[in-house]
Chain A
Amino acid sequence: MSILVHRATRILVQGLTGRQAQSDTEAAIRYGARVVAGVTPGRGGETVCGVPVFDTVRAAQEAHPADASVIYVPPLAARDAALEAIAAGVPLVMVTAEGVPEHDILRMIAAARRAGVRLLGCNTNGVISPGQSRLGGIGGPDPDEIYDAGRIGVCSRSGGMSAEIALTLRRAGLGISTCVSMGGDAVTGTTMAEIACMFEDDPGTDALVLFGEPGTSAEQEVAALVRRGRLRKPIVALIAGAFQERYPRGQAFGHAAAMIAGDADTASAKQALLSAAGVRVAATLDDIPALLAGARAPARD
C-alpha cells in the first residue's frame, strides 16, 4: 500500500504544454503513472506526451475523470489553476510552483478545505510511491536510481532531501511506501502532521522518516500527535538548520519557510520537542537506518 498516489491513480496535468511539465510527464508515464489528460487553455484538441489536451479542467474531467491534478503553471497563475481544479471536483490537487503570493496561497487552501479537496504544495516536486506511480518530477528521469519500494514512509519539507533520504535508506536495504515532498513554503495545503497521520493509517507503512527545517510549526504539530498517541509507528526525524541559531533572527537562509520567527521554531527547539515526545532524532543522514532499526516494533496489529 501507499498514500496519496497509487498504481491506479488517474492523473491530470495542468499546463502540460510547458517544457518542465512535458519532461516530467514523459518520465512519469515511463515510470507507470496513469496520466489521462492535460489542460492548457487554447490548446484543446492537441495531443502531448501521447495524452489528449483540453482547454479547461471541466472538459478534461468529463472526458477522462482524474483522481489527481498536477499543476505546472507559473507562480502568478497557480491560484486560478488550483481554483479551477477544485471547482471541477478533482479530489487531489498538487501545485509545483515556487514563489506563489501569500494571498493566493491562502485562497487556494481555503477553497480546497471548503470543497473537501486535498491540496499538496505549493512549491513541491511531488509524491512518489516507488514501483507504482508518482505525481510531479520527484525521482527525475529515472526514479529507480533513487527510490526503492518498501515499507518506510517519508515526508520532507525539501524536495532534494527526499532523494538523499531515499538513497540513504537504499544503502541500508530499506525501501519506501510513499515519499511526500510536502513543499517548502511557510504555509502548505497539507501539513506534515496530516501526512504523518496518513502514514499511521496506511497498512503498507511500518515506520516514518521526517525531514524538517527551522520555521513554521510543522514539526511541533507532529510532536503533539505523538504525545497524544495519535502517531504510534516509529518515527525518525532529521531537522536541518541549527547553524542558523548562530546568526541574527529574521535572516532567511534557505526556503522562505525556514525563517525563524520565535524560540519554538528553531531547529534545536524542534529536535528537543520531538525527542521528548519519543521521536528518534537523527544528527546525520547516515544515522537514520540505525535509528529505524533500533526503534520499537509497530504498536498496531
Chain B
Amino acid sequence: MIRLLEHRAKAWLRAAGFAVPQGAPAATPAEAARLAAGFASGAVVKALVPAGRRGKAGAVRLVAGADEAAAAAAALIGTEVAGFPVLSVYVEERIGIASEAYLAFVLAGGRLRALASREGGIEIEEAIVSGRGSLAEIEIDPLDGLRPWDAVELWRRAGLAGAKLRDTGALTARLFAAFVRADALMLEVNPLVLEAAGGPMLVGAMAAIDEAALPRHPEWREAAEEAEAWSSGNARERRVAEISRTVPGGECRYVELDGDIGLLVGGGGAGLYQHDRLVALGARPANHCVTPPTGADSRKLKAVIGAILDNPRTRGLLVGFNFAQMARADIRVRSLVEVLDERGMASPDFPIVVRMFGAGEAEARALVAGRPGITYLERGATLDDGVRLVAEQVAARQGPQQGGAA
C-alpha cells in the first residue's frame, strides 16, 4: 500500500474533476510565503508527511498572510510529525467552512466499504479511533460499485436531506468510481465541505493506492518512489526495495533484524517456519527476506543475497528452500556463488548451510563443491535439519568472549 502525500492526492482528485482547494507544496518558508500571498481568503500550512491525524499533532496551521505562512513553514520544516521528518509543507487556500462532513472508502479484509458522517473534522477522527463514532456504513458489491442510489442511501442514513443529500450523493458515487479507477485502497475525505460555493468540496483528502496495480498506473510512479524514500529502512533494505520495484519479475523483500544468522529463505511459509525454529533454538536471525521466483531477473535474488552478506552482523547463512516443485535449484545457487565471488568470500569461518532439493540439484551441488564453509545437506534432510546445523555452526564459531554480544 502506497500512501499518497496530500499534494498528490489532491492533484489526482483535481484532475479527476473534483472540487478541491487550490494549493501547492513548498520546501522553504519563502516559497510558502509566496504561495500564501496568492490566497486572498487566508491560507493553511500543513506538514507534508504520509500520515493522518495531522491536525491533532499540531501540524496544521491557519495563517492570515505571507509572513505568518513563512513563520508556520519555518516552524514545521525540520521537525518530526508522526515519526516522519517534515521536509516540506503544503500551502493551500483557506475555505470558509459552514458545515463539514466525513467520507471514506476502504478496501480491506476482502470487503469494500463506504463510511460517512455529517460531522467531520478532528473530532470524528478521534471518535473513529476510539470506536465511539457513529458512522453510517454500507458494504459495496465490487461488481456493482457504489451506485448513485446507494450513495444517496448512505448519506440519508448519515442524516442528510434535501438538496444537500442529492448533491452529496451524486458526488459520492462519482468519487467512488474514481477510487476504483485509481486502484486506491483507501480514501478519506475530511472535511468534506457541503456548502462551498458551487457544491461540495473535498477540503481534506488522504489516499493510499495498491502497489500491485502500479504497472497500469504510470501516474503513480513518482508517488511510489517518494513512498520508498519515506520508508525507515537502512541503505541495504532500501536498495532491495528499489530493485524489487524497478526490476521485473515478482517481489523481493529484505528486513534487517538484530541477530547474526543470515536467512536466504524461500516461500512465504517456509521462511516463517524456519525463522520460528531458529528462534525456538535460541538462535537469532540477522534478517528476514522474501525471495522472488526463479523466473525473475537474477538481479533481484542477487540484491537480497548481497544485502545479507553486506550486513556487518551476519556471521553465517541458512539457504533454506522448500523441496522445489517449480523452481530450479541451480539458478539460485549460481546467484549465491556469484555474489560470494564478487565479495571474495570463501572462508570456513563463515558457515553456509544449503537445504535445497529438486530440479537442477546436481548442477547446484557441483557449483558449491569444494568451497570452504558451505554444507549442502543430503537429499532428504528436513527444514529443521538445516536450521539446527546453521545454529550449531554459527554458535561454534563464536568465541566465548563474543558469546552474548550479538
B212 at the interface (CB under 8 A from A): yes
Q: Does A289 contact B (CB under 8 A)?
A: no
- A160 proximal to B (CB < 8 A): yes
Among A75, A104, A110, A164, contact of B322 (Cβ-Cβ < 8 Å): A164
A87 within 8 A of B: no
- Evaluate contact between A161 and B109: CB separation under 8 angstroms: no
Encode contact with A along B130-142: 1 for CB under 8 Å, 0 otherwise.
0000000000011
Contact across chains for B272 and A101 when beta carbons are under 8 A apart = no
Q: Are B112 and A106 neighbours in the complex by a CB distance under 8 Å?
A: yes
Task: Judge whether B325 and A139 touch: CB under 8 Å.
Answer: yes
> Is A158 at the interface (CB under 8 A from chain B)?
yes
Q: Establish whether residues A255 and B269, one from each chain, have CB atoms under 8 Å apart when the complex forms.
A: yes
Q: Whole-angstrom distance between the alpha carbons of A241 and B183 in the complex?
A: 30
Query: Contact at A140–B269, with CB atoms within 8 Å?
Result: no
Contact assessment for B180 and A103 in the assembled complex, using a CB-CB cutoff below 8 Å: yes
A86 to B255: give the CA distance in the assembly, Å.
39
CB distance from B325 to the nearest CB of A (A): 4
Residue with the highest number of chain A CB atoms closer than 10 Å, among B107, B213, B295, B325: B325
Interfacial residues of chain B within 270-290, with CB under 8 A of chain A in the complex:
270-273, 275-277, 279-280, 285, 288, 290
Is A125 on the interface with B (CB-CB < 8 A)? yes
Chain B, 194-217, contact with A by CB distance < 8 Å: what is the 0/1 string? 000000000000000010110110
CB distance A158 to B270 under 8 Å? yes
Whether A284 touches B384, Cβ cut-off 8 Å, given contacts A103-B183, A109-B110, is: yes
Most buried by A among B215, B257, B267, B293: B267
**Which residues of B are found within 8 Å of A105, using beta-carbon distances?**
110
A158 surroundings in chain B (CB, below 8 A): 267-270, 272
A133-179, CB < 8 A from B: 137-141, 145-146, 156-161, 163-164, 167-168
Using known A-B contacts A160-B322, A186-B109, determine if residue A101 contacts B210 with beta carbons closer than 8 Å. Answer: yes
B78 at the interface (CB under 8 A from A): no
Report if B326 contacts A (CB, 8 A).
yes
Of all chain B residues, the one with the shortest Cβ separation from A105 is B110
**Within residues 199 to 246 of chain A, which ones have a CB less than 8 A from any CB in chain B?**
211, 213-214, 216-217, 238, 240-244, 246
Contacts of A187 in B (CB 8 A): 109-110
Which residues of A (247-269) have their CB < 8 Å from a CB of B? 247, 251-255, 258, 267
**B319 interfacial contact with A, CB 8 Å:** no
B156 to chain A, nearest CB (A): 25
A163–B210 touching, CB < 8 Å: no
Residues of B within 8 Å of A146, CB to CB, are 323, 325
Distance A200 CA – B213 CA, assembled complex (angstroms): 37
Select which of A19, A101, A157 is within 8 A of B183 by beta carbon.
A101
In this assembly, does A296 line the interface, its C-beta being within 8 Å of a C-beta of chain B? Answer: no
Instruction: Let me know if B383 is at the binding interface, CB within 8 A.
Output: yes
B21 within 8 A of A: no
Contacts of B275 on A, CB cut-off 8 Å?
Answer: 241, 243, 253
Contact B213 A254 (CB under 8 A): no
Contact B325 A157 (CB under 8 A): no
Cβ of A100 under 8 Å from chain B? yes
User: Measured between C-beta atoms, what is the minimum distance from B244 to chain A in Å?
Assistant: 11
Chain A residues near B271 (CB-CB < 8 A): 253-254
With an 8 A cutoff between CB atoms, is A194 at the interface? no
Q: Are A213 and B272 in contact (CB under 8 A)?
A: yes
A163 to B323, Cβ gap below 8 A? yes
Beta-carbon contact of B212 and A99 below 8 Å? yes
Say whether, besides A103-B107, A110-B141, A141 and B268 are in contact (CB < 8 Å).
Answer: no
List B contacts of A139 (CB < 8 A). 325
Let me know if A106 and B183 touch, CB within 8 A. Answer: no
Closest to B269 in A: A158
Complex-state Cα separation, A285 to B255, whole angstroms: 26
Partner of A24, one of B180, B326, B382: B326
**Nearest A-chain residue to B293, judged by Cβ:** A98
Cβ B142 vs Cβ A107 within 8 A: yes
B110 adjacent to A258 (CB under 8 Å): no
Note all chain B residues with C-beta closer than 8 A to A241: 272, 275-276
Q: Do B295 and A211 have beta carbons less than 8 Å apart?
A: no
Given A156-B269, A167-B323, answer yes or no on A253-B255 (Cβ-Cβ < 8 Å): yes
Q: Are B142 and A254 in contact (CB under 8 A)?
A: no
Please, which residues of chain A bring their CB within 8 A of the CB of B267? Answer: 158-161
B250 at the interface (CB under 8 A from A): yes
B87 at the interface (CB under 8 A from A): no
Given A75-B212, A156-B269, verify A106-B323 contact (CB < 8 Å). no
Q: Which residue of A104, A159, A164, A247 contacts B257 across the interface (Cβ within 8 Å)? A: A247
Q: B270 near A107 (CB under 8 angstroms)?
A: no
**Contact among B216, B280, B288 for A253, CB-based, below 8 A:** B288
Q: Contacts of A184 on B, CB cut-off 8 Å?
A: 268-269
CB-CB under 8 A from A216, the residues of chain B are: 109
Give the residue name and chain of the A residue nearest to B181 (CB): A103
Interface string of A86-116 (1 = CB under 8 A from B): 0000000000001111111111011100100
Known contacts A106-B107, A240-B273, A258-B268: A140-B359 contact under CB 8 Å: yes
Residues of B within 8 A of A106 (CB): 107, 110, 112, 142
Residue B29 CB within 8 A of the other chain: no
- Is the beta-carbon distance between A157 and B269 smaller than 8 angstroms? yes
Q: Is A286 an interface residue (CB 8 A)?
A: yes
Interface centre among B215, B255, B270 (most CB of A within 10 A): B270
Considering residues B112, B216, B271, which has the most beta carbons from chain A within 10 angstroms of its beta carbon? B271
- The distance in angstroms between the C-alpha atoms of A187 and B109, with both chains bound, is 7
Complex formed: what's the CA distance from A110 to B276 in Å? 36
Contact A110 B325 (CB under 8 A): no
| A8 at interface, CB cutoff 8 A | no
Q: Quick one: closest A residue to B142, CB to CB? A: A106
B290 to chain A, nearest CB (A): 6
Q: Report Cα–Cα, A240/B274, bound state, in Å.
A: 9
| Residue B185, interface by CB 8 Å | yes
Q: Can you name 9 A-B pairs with beta carbons within 8 Å?
A: A103-B213, A158-B270, A186-B109, A211-B269, A213-B269, A240-B276, A253-B275, A258-B272, A285-B384
Top 6 nearest A-B pairs by Cβ distance? A158-B269, A160-B322, A160-B267, A255-B268, A254-B268, A187-B110
Q: A140-B324, A216-B109 are in contact. List 4 more A-B contacts (CB 8 A).
A: A140-B358, A240-B272, A242-B279, A254-B290
